[in-house]
Structure 1
Amino acid sequence: MSITQKGEELHFDENQFIVSKTDLKGRITYANDLFIQISGFKEQELIGTPHNILRHPDMPRAIFKLLWDRVQAGKEVFAYVKNKTKNNKYYWVHAYITPIVDTKTQQLIGYHSVRRSPSAKGIEVIAPLYKKMLQAEEQGGIQASTALLDNTLSQLKVSYDAFILSHE
């Protein structure tokens, strides 16, 4: 696995994927080797721990609300996410999150996430938007941040999914 570092930011090869699974409450049930390596945690520190152990303070809560609303409704979702490591470094991912459904009962049993290295173009667009969303959250909470995102998408005349996928 090739993980490189530029300052406090970690990067991984575009042909590698970070994979994890969680239960319905977001506790990690599986982490692949790249996830373990880049996070800086040991596997036993990750398994059973809430996935938000990696939550970077630069991430707007509104994005996580959007993610949770989608996957809990049984839908897939794409997102750019900035994660922090155990050693307070960070890395960006382009995440694809899907619900895991029991094929026999058709019941939702967890979530599966595959993350790849994001494009520089995507980060150039997403990072400033997330900064504005965080400022909106400080002023008016998660509703203000969500409204800012919705207004941005409306002005661009694009859906959230189209916006994310157009910046790959």
Structure 2
Amino acid sequence: MLSRVAPTGVERRFPETDIIVSKTDLKGTITYANRVFLDVAGLTEREVIGAPHSFLRHPDMPRAVFALLWERLTAGKEIFAYVVNLAANGDHYWVHAHVTPTFAASGAIVGFHSNRRVPNADAVEKIKPIYRKLRDIEDTSANRADGLAQSRAHLNAILAQAGVTYDQFVFSLAS
């Protein structure tokens, strides 16, 4: 498994025509990564297969967003999200992720599939201060559980104030 690297503050970009694809098992362990994923992340297939997808998590990414992601996926629903990831050297890259459960013929969830595209630049600029606020809440709370709960409550308040669902909110950022 890869060790954590410190963020460099350098943003990586990839062509708008490229799609980053990965598959995981039920615990988020990577079982497949396409060439675009490997190139953008600066990793080899040997380094990622069998590794937890969370090793790519950038420290600026709110835990509340991942909690929502896992909640939706384990309920059998898809989710779209703006995500900032770390590359192997500490550079970062933003993606607009579409993550879906993978179902067996029996209907049981057997894993997850993620397609990630180049995000709309305006949407990323709109989500950055929101994510920063969510991280501030998480980082300054008395403990991790309280921080996550307070961050989720803040995200829910943003959605309620806007009168939109999470999905509507995500798609509204690009307009």
Q: Which amino acid aligns with 1:109?
A: V
Query: TM-score scaled to structure 2, two decimals?
Result: 0.90
Q: Over the residues paired in the alignment, what is the CA RMSD in angstroms?
A: 0.9
Gaps of 5+ in 2: 1-8, 142-146
Output the CA distance in 2 between the equivalents of 1:43 and 1:138.
33
Displacement of 1:139 in angstroms is 2.6
Output the CA distance in 2 between the equivalents of 1:93 and 1:161.
16
Residue equivalent to 1:147 = 153
Q: Which structure 2 residues correspond to residues 115-130 of structure 1 after superposition, within 5 A?
A: 115-130=116-131
1:135 paired with 2:136, answer yes
Displacement of 1:75 in angstroms is 0.3
Deviation per CA, 1:79-136: give whole Å up to 9, x if none.
0000001100000000000000012x21110000000000011101111100000011
Output the CA distance in 2 between the equivalents of 1:159 and 1:50.
29
Residue equivalent to 2:112 = 111
Residue equivalent to 2:103 = 101
Residue equivalent to 1:83 = 85
Deviation per CA, 1:44-77: give whole Å up to 9, x if none.
0000100011000000100000000000110000
Q: Which amino acid aligns with 2:75?
A: A
Output the CA distance in 2 between the equivalents of 1:154 and 1:142.
18
Residue equivalent to 1:66 = 68
Task: Please identify runs of 4+ aligned residues in structure 1 that moved more than 3 A.
Answer: none
Q: Which amino acid aligns with 2:171?
A: L
Q: Which amino acid aligns with 1:129?
A: I
Output the CA distance in 1 between the equivalents of 2:172 and 2:14.
21
Identity of aligned residues (%): 50
Query: TM-score scaled to structure 1, two decimals?
Result: 0.93
The alignment of Structure 1 onto Structure 2 pairs a total of residues equal to 161
More strand by share: 1
